[in-house]
Structure 1
Amino acid sequence: MSTATGHILVIDDDPTVLDVVARYLSRAGYQVSVAPDGELGLKLAAARLPDLVVLDLMLPGRSGLEVCAELRARAPIPVIMLTALGEEEDRVVGLELGADDYVTKPFSPRELVLRVGSVLRRSRDAVAPAVAAPTVIDGNLVVDVSARRAVLDGGDLALTVREFDLLAFLIRHPGQAFGRPELLEKVWGWSFGDQSTVTVHVRRLREKVEVDPTNPRRISTVWGVGYRYDLLDGSSAGSSAGDAEER
């Protein structure tokens, strides 16, 4: 018997996709609502906040990108985007808007169910209190892992769940280089996924923690390998620091 729980909202203008995805998710134990367009999807989300949204990128009327932006403006709802093969640039924009993952059409409904479960687990783990988690200080940057708070020059950084997870992992492992596949697995627990997800989030982090994102001093690119976190003062304060990764 499935132990999956949660309310999933599926927004797609293809009735076949809605039917198949809803049946597979229901069979996995989820409660499912469906909408054929963004307007109805937003109304359903307003009436009952879902635990996760499966969102088609190409929708009639309001695009999936617009719907994603409005959903994430309301609440930190996990979003998995459904995209076509030729929409790479839009997928990157979707990730930058806060989408948690995407699945390329045509897709396996079973794989989508697995991704839903993975994203939900990460989302729930993100709000769970950490046990004996360290605070790491790197010059003017302070990362409190237990409070899930990052402060730069005395002001709170506005980070998404995935951005904070990546920053916390990197700053706790300074001086070590990690490849994109390794970061996908170690930071977000993904055994599969597009490596551009890492690239996007490294770029977004650099824009928030670097003085000059085009010439980063903290999150360095290790060519042919990935990324590495370099402490500005060469040491860490607080509980500890450890490895760094690449994107």
Structure 2
Amino acid sequence: MSARATPSRQDDAVPSERPLLLLIDDDEAITGALGAFLERSGYRVAVAADGMQGLTALERERPALVVCDVLMPHLDGREFVRRVRTGDAVLPIILLTQVGESWERSAALDEGADDYLNKPFDPQELLSRVRAVLRRSGSSAQPLRSAQRLRAQDLVLDRTARRVWRADAELVLTPKAFTLLEYLMMHPQEVHTRERLLSTLWGFDFATSSRAVDHRIAELRRVIGDNGAERLIETSQSVGYQFTAPVVPG
């Protein structure tokens, strides 16, 4: 791989209005195959082999979104995110993390990543995440990721204080239920499968019973009083759950 991040060779034939993605990974097999897949899906792709090359690439041009591995030489993905966020609060970043390391996924969000995906992953799922993050980042001047408070109707979640209110009454949630509500509110209008919620929030794979998610959803609905005709959290039959109400910083 080249010592510096360069757009893939197909770029000369691709219209400039196609969004540019920066793909950062030290595995050439991944960048080659994934870069080609993303290009076929309608994007231009630039590639960097580690976080340092990624930072250099950002000095030359601004991509619409960055997909970045966590475990890399010279500068890893988490440090890359920290350095980017010191000067850019809104550039969308998706981190590729290792299966089973739940602390790493939590740290990814805390340090400023917009989303994360476990390795190994289906390229089609990454494409769906890219599209979803781009939709979210374009819908608000202040992304939900960088907001201290999230608001949906009369429900307010304070991410820093780890507190929740509805109609000015403070609610008491278990730590797992709070984490689940925070995640759903940061990714509104998206259907999340039970498997994905188990993996990203609990660090479990699908071999673990998905009833853990159902129990926490039931707890959330009970505590926030989400039992009316128009629920904030809806069940997608046989799939999972989604937070259907619009969410804004505040």
How does the TM-score come out when normalised to structure 1? 0.60
Q: Is the 8 A contact 1:20 1:109 kept in 2?
A: no
Q: State the distance in 2 between where 1:116 and 1:101 align.
A: 9
For the aligned residues, what is the CA RMSD?
3.8
Encode CA deviations 1:67-86: one digit per residue, 9 max, x unaligned: 01111222111111101113
What is the total number of aligned residue pairs between the two structures? 179
Task: Compute the displacement of 1:161 (Å).
Answer: 2.4
Aligned to 2:150: 167
Runs of 4 or more consecutive aligned structure 1 residues displaced over 2 Å after TM superposition: 160-166, 170-190, 192-199, 226-230, 242-245
Alpha carbons of 1:97 and 1:189: their partners in 2 closer, same or farther (altered >3 Å)? same
Give the AA of the match of 1:53: V
The secondary structure found in structure 1 opposite 2:140 is helix
Aligned to 2:49: 36
Q: State the distance in 2 between where 1:166 and 1:74 align.
A: 21
Give the AA of the match of 1:14: D
Alpha carbons of 1:244 and 1:104: their partners in 2 closer, same or farther (altered >3 Å)? same
How does the TM-score come out when normalised to structure 2? 0.60
Residue 184 in 1 paired to residue 197 in 2? no
Encode CA deviations 1:42-79: one digit per residue, 9 max, x unaligned: 10012111111101010111111100111122211111
The secondary structure found in structure 1 opposite 2:113 is coil
Q: State the distance in 2 between where 1:9 and 1:64 align.
A: 13
Stretches of structure 1 lacking an aligned partner (at least 5 in a row): 128-147, 149-159, 200-221, 231-241
Q: State the distance in 2 between where 1:56 and 1:107 align.
A: 12
Residue 225 in 1 paired to residue 196 in 2? no
Alpha carbons of 1:165 and 1:19: their partners in 2 closer, same or farther (altered >3 Å)? farther
Residue 16 in 1 paired to residue 19 in 2? no
Give the AA of the match of 1:84: Q
Alpha carbons of 1:126 and 1:46: their partners in 2 closer, same or farther (altered >3 Å)? same
Task: Compute the displacement of 1:194 (Å).
Answer: 3.4
Q: State the distance in 2 between where 1:196 and 1:106 align.
A: 13
Q: Percent identity?
A: 32
Q: Is the 8 A contact 2:69 2:96 kept in 1?
A: yes
Of 197, 208, 212, 1:194 maps to: 197
Task: Compute the displacement of 1:5 (Å).
Answer: 4.0
The secondary structure found in structure 1 opposite 2:67 is strand
Q: State the distance in 1 between where 2:148 and 2:37 align.
A: 30
Aligned to 2:139: 125
